[in-house]
Amino acid sequence: MSRARRIALLGMLVGVSLVLFLVEALLPQPLPFLKIGLANTVTLFVLLTMGVREAVAVTVLRVAAASLFAGTLLGPAFALSMAGGLSAALGMGAAARFGVPPLGIVGVSVVGAVCHNLAQLGVVDALYAGSGAAWGLLPAALLISAGAGLATGLAARFALVKFGRHVEVLRGATA
């Protein structure tokens, strides 16, 4: 894929993930930390169609722009989002690549959700709670990760089935 195509495609995908982020922000949240992480669908999509580096790039750009929209740029919430997003992207990259028992899209997505939550709990513990207090949320985080990972995994699979071919066409166009 030519450089221009790649940049255009990644830019569009960052836009898609931002829209998903904003849509999710509009949904009611029954619990403060209960979040599906729809925007992560794009990270997973990019990871599977393009690669880890692209997935990390899209995630970093999304978190930066999303926190700009939410008015939390460079605040503590930004640290949380960035840590969660980055570790999810890297964790999913590792899971997709080295997952010894063959993990499917949903499995990779669940790994990402777990990484996301673990990283956020770690940051919360380091910044605020201290002395491991935040890890009291670990059981809830694991349960939520399973559900959220399943949801985003299925969404990513849907996207892959629907649009993956277009990315392949773009990639193949100049390959």
Partner 1 sequence: MVLTWADRLLMYALVGSGIVLLAAARGGGAGGLARLEGEDGYSRVVRLDREARYEVPGPLGVSVVEVRGGQVRMATSPCPGRICVSMGAARRPGDSIVCVPNGVLVTVLGGTGSTADAVTR
By the criterion CB under 8 A, which residues form the site for partner 1? 25, 29, 32, 35, 70, 72, 76-77, 80, 99, 101-107, 110-111, 114, 129, 133, 136, 138-143, 145-146, 149-150, 153-154, 157
State the minimum distance, in angstroms, from the CB of residue 16 to partner 1. Answer: 19
The token duo for 33 is: 């930390």
Taking the C-alpha atoms of residue 153 and residue 160, their distance in angstroms, rounded to an integer, is: 10
For partner 1, which is the closer residue by CB, 98 or 169?
A: 98
Chain Cα centroid distance, residue 67 = 14
Taking the C-alpha atoms of residue 152 and residue 105, their distance in angstroms, rounded to an integer, is: 9
For partner 1, which is the closer residue by CB, 14 or 66?
A: 66
- Range list of H helices, the chain: 3-26, 40-49, 52-70, 76-98, 105-124, 138-174
State the minimum distance, in angstroms, from the CB of residue 65 to partner 1. Answer: 14
State the minimum distance, in angstroms, from the CB of residue 56 to partner 1. Answer: 22
State the minimum distance, in angstroms, from the CB of residue 130 to partner 1. Answer: 10
Place of tokens 């790039």: 57
Residue 78 CA: distances (Å) to CA of 62, 84, 86, 150: 11, 10, 12, 25
For partner 1, which is the closer residue by CB, 9 or 18?
A: 18
For partner 1, which is the closer residue by CB, 55 or 63?
A: 63
Place of tokens 């100049």: 174
The token duo for 62 is: 């999304």
For partner 1, which is the closer residue by CB, 72 or 171?
A: 72
State the minimum distance, in angstroms, from the CB of residue 77 to partner 1. Answer: 4
